[in-house]
Structure 1
């Protein structure tokens, strides 16, 4: 599924091939968001991009690779792996890292840009997975999930591969999924005010951070009770305990 994109010249400006690929990806994103992977055609995508009918095969080796590229692009509009790696490598506390993870995702999903084709495409993929879901999860989601899992494991006081971390990740991600798949008008009707302004979005981030952190601390206390450990959270840098599997 390699994408044929020529390198940029030394000037740093996109090459003609890169510009064509970007135009094609933008048109494809709109079509995929409207019709889904199964009903979209290379012909329609090329027509919308104003390009030759063979462009999909030339630039992306086929419609499947093009769809994979649009999904990856869409997911990176929410948050990139580079941003998460920077957070993970910082000297901030685990709680501050948790907020730093949540904040850009919520800002993106709660903003007017959530109506863009990128968010509509991801919503469609969540609700009706395509044949490329496994490759997409492996390439885009799992690396980001690992970084989040490391922070959650530190907060709870367990190793990152402990099953409790997976359950906790679900608790963290679930509110973001609601924002991702919700129609903006319906969301405003059901919960007026939570995303109506930048200030309200920041309050939502504050709320989610407090809510999620409190839940993780409750899980940590439960884990500590199970292991018979003292009811104190592990300090950053302390080796996590290994729990016995039931």
Structure 2
């Protein structure tokens, strides 16, 4: 009788090895950056054969792109955002829930390698930056743009919408980029009560969004708009 469970078990083992490589590679890339992290070190730390990177990902560059997407996924999951946006909540409450997830990850007691990988790539882009932009950031930015559009009550083509979204998300990026030691020493309130920080972020963002809505609602619209 043919054993039908063997191929399935093989696939599961392969998936587990791939995920383990992804996790270890993320740690190595976070520590060393793309240029200095080698497949040899990644495989040694993962306890796999040196050929594992090429077998599961095709190349070190492809592995790095997968790490970039996984890193951004940890910081902000598209599936979670889609679930939040679909909830029966007021638009600003949806925004608060999304920002809360980012704040908790950025101010949590243990930093995940994902933040360091994303920061490295943003501060010193490699040839693989487009993968981060198109595969990870762009779908989430489009969803956030729709949410901001709903909050402001303005047409999607309004110039202020994109600027408002960028200004809205900039504090989150600053939280991720700022070293924990600097935050603790210079701005200790950033490292304390995450819910209080979120409250202040929403107050600050809400006032700005209200001002943008008032400014562009009062602006004359171009012909045909």
The 5 A counterparts of 1:196-235 are: 196=192, 200-227=193-220
Match status 1:182 vs 2:178: yes
Distance 2:119 2:98 in 1: 20
Alignment partner, residue 21 of structure 1: 18
Q: 1:64 aligned to 61, 65, 76, which one? A: 61
C-alpha displacement of 1:9: 4.2
Question: Alpha-carbon deviations, 1:114-155, whole Å to 9, x = none?
Answer: x22211111111111121111221111111111111111122
CA contact (8 A) 1:9 1:15 kept: yes
List alignment gaps of at least 5 residues for structure 2.
Answer: 1-6
Alignment partner, residue 32 of structure 1: 29
Distance 1:9 1:204 in 2: 47
C-alpha displacement of 1:18: 1.3
Question: TM-score scaled to structure 2, two decimals?
Answer: 0.90
CA RMSD of superposed structures (Å): 1.9
Distance 2:11 2:202 in 1: 39
The 5 A counterparts of 1:1-246 are: 9=8, 15-113=12-110, 115-196=111-192, 200-227=193-220, 243-244=221-222
C-alpha displacement of 1:159: 1.9
CA contact (8 A) 1:123 1:180 kept: yes
Question: TM-score scaled to structure 1, two decimals?
Answer: 0.83
After TM superposition, where is structure 1 displaced by more than 6 Å over at least 4 residues in a row? none
Q: Going by fraction, where is helix more abundant, 1 or 2?
A: 2
SS of structure 1 residue aligned to 2:212: helix
CA contact (8 A) 2:30 2:116 kept: yes
Number of aligned residue pairs: give it: 217
Distance 2:63 2:13 in 1: 18
SS of structure 1 residue aligned to 2:55: helix
Question: Alpha-carbon deviations, 1:78-117, whole Å to 9, x = none?
Answer: 121111111222221111111122111111111123x222
